[in-house]
Structure 1
């Protein structure tokens, strides 16, 4: 699929009230498995990618590393791939714009840019955060093919600002040219529905933490267009490692190892064309 067709196909998946699941992968194998199991689109996860490098989340992966990782996933699957690109790998608006251009060249169908001054959890001032999205959106519109720019307001999740501030930021991001809006974990599903009702743009919701208690149908009723996993699936995988290791190196048992999927099943999924 060409870059132009990939972006257009990705955009078409975004339908308010009919959310698709954007499956965040962390390596080629997980991306291929998720696509084989039915994912309509794949995304990177900044946290999950950092884990594979033995690093913590939030600002510990370089732009070059994120781009190379994204290119690996793009080459591995035929479905669109979106990049979780943290704060755009730079504070200034020009850095965000350059990240958009480089992401498109890497074959990505879109990226998300958050308003956090990494590696701290401190948010950028609202007007500056909006200016960053304006620069990214301008770069996206200048590309030869379609590209979905997601603007994130991460302050609720990071404990830095409230729902009212998040909504004000999202309104500014919409006016600045964002294609999709995202405020991870906005308290309750009613809060999520209020975010969706306040915009004509598609809204991404995060299936993590307390929001894992809700189904796709619940998110649809809230008006969500896209459900991403963030690092939740990777963390679930790490929980298996943690539990098995505690048993092995503690009591000396191996029962957790008997709960794994068969090698033949994994081989079959990895061999499927997607």
Structure 2
């Protein structure tokens, strides 16, 4: 019997990062797989945009799970869930989210350490207990499941890199399979983050890291590269740009659109 979680875990190799492509609907997931993606992730931002909402605590757990099932049904590669803060503050709520994520067929998911919609970081002890509860739930699932613990305080301005390292070390000790500190200030900071733990580290291609290559991330020791909501923002941004021109009477931007034959080919491969 196929263990999609074990397949997903095997992709995580320090210094040999794979690209986890964040898709926002079934079509984008199917196209990314056709283009060669070895794994897909949901994106809370992209999903929120597709529902006409802003990112950050506007999705319910049921909506996120249903959306994840849609993506799983569209592809054969592992799918991981961007499940924000686990849809609740209490450790038992986060544990239940992990159990439900496993039940719908996800190969893993990430859990943030900030409350929503305020983005205020949880107290250290509570943050660790939330990951401990999530890890316990993940290990109780009938197949492998990759739990990613996120330390978001650097990105949100809640704490510095030293605190982020303290947290991810505690998250590793609590049972996290992979850790993630979005938006560290520079490459040296990312190297320190990677060196501080023995579990794989996910990196985000944004800000100072948007110009990095896969080789650069490999040299820094990353095991996984994700794009978050960036690809969805590119797609929506292109539509906004062309629509602005169209509404002003200029339709030339439509010449840049992908050919229908290409879209059809990717959706059927």
SS of residue paired to 2:40: strand
Pick one of 254, 259, 268 that aligns with 1:257: 254
SS of residue paired to 2:15: coil
Cα shift at 1:159: 1.2
Aligned to 1:39: 37
Cα shift at 1:209: 2.4
Report the TM-score, using the length of structure 1 for normalisation: 0.97
Distance (whole Å) between structure 1 residues aligned to residue 198 and residue 86 of structure 2: 24
Aligned to 1:232: 230
Distance (whole Å) between structure 2 residues aligned to residue 55 and residue 124 of structure 1: 24
1:85 aligns with 2:83: yes
Distance (whole Å) between structure 1 residues aligned to residue 188 and residue 7 of structure 2: 30
Distance (whole Å) between structure 1 residues aligned to residue 52 and residue 27 of structure 2: 18
Cα shift at 1:32: 0.1
Deviations 1:47-71 (A, max 9, x none): 1100000000000000000000000
Deviations 1:92-137 (A, max 9, x none): 0000100000000010000000001001110101110000000000
Cα shift at 1:139: 0.6
Cα shift at 1:208: 1.7
SS of residue paired to 2:232: helix
Aligned length: 269
Cα shift at 1:248: 1.6
Cα shift at 1:173: 0.3
Deviations 1:155-205 (A, max 9, x none): 111111111111111011011000000000111122111111111100000
Pick one of 114, 117, 128 that aligns with 2:115: 117
Pick one of 67, 72, 75 that aligns with 2:73: 75
Distance (whole Å) between structure 2 residues aligned to residue 190 and residue 220 of structure 1: 14
Aligned to 1:202: 200
Distance (whole Å) between structure 1 residues aligned to residue 18 and residue 240 of structure 2: 30
Aligned to 2:213: 215
Structure 2: gaps of 5 or more residues: none
Pick one of 257, 264, 267 that aligns with 1:267: 264
Cα shift at 1:26: 0.3
Matches of residues 242-253 of structure 1 in structure 2 within 5 Å?
Answer: 242-250=240-248, 252-253=249-250
Cα shift at 1:215: 0.4
SS of residue paired to 2:167: helix
Aligned to 2:98: 100
Structure 1 residue ranges, 4+ long, deviating more than 3 angstroms after superposition: none
